[in-house]
Amino acid sequence: MTDQPRTGKVERKTAETSIEIAVNLDGTGTYDVSTGIGFLDHMVEQFSKHSLIDVTMKVEGDLHVDQHHTTEDSAIALGQALTDALGDKAGIGRYGSAYSPMDETLSRVSLDISGRPYLVWKAQFSQEKLGEWDTELIEHWFHSVAQSAGLTLHCELLYGTNNHHICESLYKGFARAMRIAVERDPRKGGAIPSTKGQLGG
């Protein structure tokens, strides 16, 4: 099993967004994030800090239209960069789960780096916006990253009332579950964590 850092980089340019993303799965949680949406920046920073995955993310989007394209495309590019960094997924834990308490809020996030994208979302918000970010886009961000990274992803709000806490709890839970799932397991050596001999399909 190699000890080389697992890094991924994606440049994604469309008529709606221009994105550059780099990740290091074996980092320290260092981040440099600029999407043009303050609350989204904050959440991606939380993901990096608590997953220990270094993230550099620079996004220029058509925010004069709305926030949809910037939210969706940045999540797609992040998922692609994570996939690039994971390579053939040899030796990883594959599964990760985390409970994430934040004051009155408790969330649970479980995931499988399966190559079979699927999102189960059981959370809701009572505000239309957090900062300037439309809360309806939060589920869409998780859906987009699950699709592009090939994650089976279950996100549940067990209870909570403060919308900021709910969102941050879900992102921190996702981060901690990803940290567990991408970790190399020395007992596995370089084995692919599947009886199929490959992940996906």
Per-domain residue ranges of the chain: 7-188
Res 38: pLDDT:
98
Res 188: pLDDT:
74
DSSP per-residue string spanning the chain: ---S--EEEEEEE-SSEEEEEEEETTS-S-EEEE-S-HHHHHHHHHHHHHHT-EEEEEEEE-TTT-SHHHHHHHHHHHHHHHHHHHTT-TTB--EEEEEEEETTEEEEEEEE--SS-EEEEE---SSSEETTEETHHHHHHHHHHHHHHT-EEEEEEEE---HHHHHHHHHHHHHHHHHHHHSB-GGGTT--SSTTSSS--
How much is the pTM? 0.93
Q: What is the pLDDT of residues 56-78, one digit of tens each?
A: 999 999 999 999 999 999 999 99
Q: Fold for domain 7-188?
A: Ribosomal Protein S5; domain 2 (3.30.230)
Res 95: pLDDT:
97
Residue 44 near residue 31 (C-beta atoms within 8 A): yes
Q: What is the pLDDT of residues 159-180, one digit of tens each?
A: 999 999 999 999 999 999 999 9
**Residue numbers of the chain with a pLDDT score lower than 70:** 1-3, 191-201
Res 186: pLDDT:
84
Res 4: pLDDT:
76
Res 70: pLDDT:
98
